[in-house]
Amino acid sequence: MRRAAPMVGLLLLLGVAGCAARSGMGPPEVTGQPSDEEQAPRLWLTMLQLQSEFEDSQTAATPDCPLARLLVSNICGLGQRICAISARHPEDQSLQTMCQDARRRCDKAQGDLRQRCPEVPGAAPQPPGAAMQTNT
């Protein structure tokens, strides 16, 4: 008789779990990629963090130019993604504003980089915003 008690408990637990899953009380379902409206603010916040890191790197007496170039490239790349999202949603003013801000931040970071880190010999200089050209 003692052996039946654990089995009854297990069956009861499985029954409760089954009811919870059917009633929507189970774990949330994974729906795939976040929506554009969710993704753009995340990208923008990441861009702000990278910009802060870049600005901090530029305060050193001798800047770490390879790191600075990488940070600027990532800042502009995130801005380009934000602008691609805003192009898919021209009616969303907040996305349009994020795109404009991202372009401004990319241009500023590129300008600051040019001032602190000389161009690599033989490399063609890029005009401001060249890293963010989109089909908007």
The DSSP line for the chain is: -TTHHHHHHHHHHHHHHHHHHHTT-SPPPP-SSPPHHHHHHHHHHHHHHHHHHHHHHTTSSS--HHHHHHHHHHHHHHHHHHHHHHHH-TT-HHHHHHHHHHHHHHHHHHHHHHHHSPPPTTPPPPPTTGGG----
pLDDT digits (tens, 9 = 90+) for 9-47: 433 333 444 444 444 444 445 566 778 778 999 999 999
Q: What's the predicted TM-score (pTM) here?
A: 0.65
Distance CA 108, CA 60 (A): 18
- pLDDT under 50: residue ranges of the chain: 1-28, 121-125, 127-128, 134-136
Distance CA 116, CA 71 (A): 14
- Sequence spans of domains, the chain: 64-118
